[in-house]
Structure 1
């Protein structure tokens, strides 16, 4: 992945690529204007923002835009998070071809939408991705169930004379491809850097004491926010060992009931017997004496009776013996 291209393939603009031979530099790239970012390695040291470069991928060479420099060098001779390798800068012809690529993808999307409408297929087309060399076109769509799109693929192959792939995605991948801004005001995590979607549960929001309002803990995809997983483990470890809500503590001769945990400060919000609130620091609540709750008798339940032994078989057996004696 880190092999260098022969110097003859690089244009004249990349002549001052590296001051120290063999050293690699790291950048963040995007293959499209809206899409996921990747970390790449390159022998080129002077790549500026928005520069178009040629990246080696599994299906061939693809152009990508430089987003920013990346601190991919760990200093120990190893790299982390590198997905691709940059071979060289793009030529003038490649830049012009890359500029026409969105137009070709939009035309393919319009044609596919017309075919979907004519065939009355229950699917929603999200995005079209065309390989730079034109060897393949991928149509991303969402649907509530499986869709028989064999006739659609035949029509598209006849239209574009290339390989066609229909790929069904979920609502989270749809948000990743369309992009947008989250409630925090930043670009969507799934669009900028997330490479996989981890499972998110409502328990994560409860552990972080977040309001359980669906509008506040859901993203643009109407699913739970992916960022709920970022600090979940930290909150869980900070709350470990802290008294539970509702527990009573005796401190300095007074009894306090825990009403809220403050894990970031390591303290507790409590209410005293006089109704006054007080914050107990970590040193204070660790020195406090926990009180056990008195056991309450459950109403309406009586002590269960001991089961009586059944004597039906014995009586039956005794009666049979008497009959035999007679």
Structure 2
């Protein structure tokens, strides 16, 4: 039996001789994989063909080898002076249109916030990113745009986190908010994470600029769960081996490995969890006075 030469998939043949570059667009920290015929240095501004059309992006990582199952855009070329000048001009046009549309929305009492107006480099498409609590008809704003551009209009609804990402704000830590600085995706954040980290459940302190729970609550949650595994539960009955005092656990300190114990004598002790032993649960009676 004669075995022929191995078949090469058309996609693999296309990927031969090209590299993958991670690039970042201006209003988001997310990295997008783009195929390029040649490597470009980190920091180089390039013209890419993305989902919306040609745009200017910045290379943010070293070149790598493409995979057969990857989904990629394309780097068309390094951005030249004319590309950058046109991109800057389109950015200014977008900013002017953003404030115009905000004013028109106020005049018509439309419950909407215009977050950003972005053109593609060939000015064939303008994307209007907006935030609204309910579904809203924005067709009346298209007429206002027609006096300034003939580009095709695309309205894109964004949530509170995406809005903070695009605008950019400062967090409670005094640094740029994570969503516009480095986050690649929005992971679920729950109030349980704050409880596990023994944080006060104060909405003002647990919310970010977007009004949602702080993204950073998830960063150390796994470590806190590991530390909590070595501590008794809150309200557990324990005895301190050194002093012999017994009482109820009122607060946990995972980072120091200690707990606060309210003793039967009315004292509050801060002791290492390793020096505690759990009291056996008191047997409950079966009569009318037994605790539920």
TM-score (norm 1): 0.68
1:202 and 2:191 are equivalent in the alignment? yes
Kindly indicate whether the alpha-carbon contact (under 8 Å) linking 2:235 and 2:248 is maintained by their aligned counterparts in 1.
yes
* Pairwise CA distance, 1:261: 2.1
Distance 1:97 1:229 in 2: 41
- Cα distance 1:202–1:83, how it changes in 2: closer, same or farther (>3 A)? farther
Deviation string 1:114-156 (CA, Å, 9 cap, x unpaired) is 4434544232212111111111111122223221222333443
1:268 and 2:262 are equivalent in the alignment? no
* Matched residues, number: 275
1:113 and 2:107 are equivalent in the alignment? no
Partner of 1:62: 55
Kindly indicate whether the alpha-carbon contact (under 8 Å) linking 2:231 and 2:273 is maintained by their aligned counterparts in 1.
no
Distance 2:206 2:225 in 1: 18
Distance 1:2 1:120 in 2: 54
Kindly indicate whether the alpha-carbon contact (under 8 Å) linking 2:30 and 2:182 is maintained by their aligned counterparts in 1.
yes
Secondary structure of the corresponding residue to residue 173 of structure 1: helix
**Which protein is bigger by CA-based radius of gyration?**
1
- Cα distance 1:77–1:103, how it changes in 2: closer, same or farther (>3 A)? closer
Kindly indicate whether the alpha-carbon contact (under 8 Å) linking 1:105 and 1:128 is maintained by their aligned counterparts in 2.
yes
The two structures, once aligned, show a CA RMSD in angstroms of 3.8
Partner of 1:31: 25
1:163 and 2:152 are equivalent in the alignment? yes
Unpaired runs of 5+ in structure 1? Answer: 6-20, 302-326
- Cα distance 1:155–1:206, how it changes in 2: closer, same or farther (>3 A)? same
Q: Which region of structure 1 is more displaced relative to structure 2, 98-107 or 117-126?
A: 117-126
Distance 1:124 1:241 in 2: 48
Kindly indicate whether the alpha-carbon contact (under 8 Å) linking 1:4 and 1:87 is maintained by their aligned counterparts in 2.
no
Pick one of 42, 45, 53 that aligns with 2:46. Answer: 53
- Cα distance 1:184–1:250, how it changes in 2: closer, same or farther (>3 A)? same
Kindly indicate whether the alpha-carbon contact (under 8 Å) linking 1:40 and 1:86 is maintained by their aligned counterparts in 2.
no
Unpaired runs of 5+ in structure 2? Answer: 1-10
Kindly indicate whether the alpha-carbon contact (under 8 Å) linking 1:54 and 1:62 is maintained by their aligned counterparts in 2.
yes
Partner of 2:235: 246
1:280 and 2:238 are equivalent in the alignment? no
* Pairwise CA distance, 1:281: 3.9
Kindly indicate whether the alpha-carbon contact (under 8 Å) linking 2:104 and 2:141 is maintained by their aligned counterparts in 1.
yes
Distance 1:141 1:153 in 2: 14
Secondary structure of the corresponding residue to residue 227 of structure 1: helix
- Cα distance 1:222–1:83, how it changes in 2: closer, same or farther (>3 A)? farther
Kindly indicate whether the alpha-carbon contact (under 8 Å) linking 2:33 and 2:73 is maintained by their aligned counterparts in 1.
yes
Partner of 1:313: none
Kindly indicate whether the alpha-carbon contact (under 8 Å) linking 1:269 and 1:277 is maintained by their aligned counterparts in 2.
yes
Distance 1:212 1:161 in 2: 51
* Pairwise CA distance, 1:229: 2.2
Distance 2:207 2:137 in 1: 32
Distance 1:59 1:198 in 2: 25
Partner of 2:114: 125
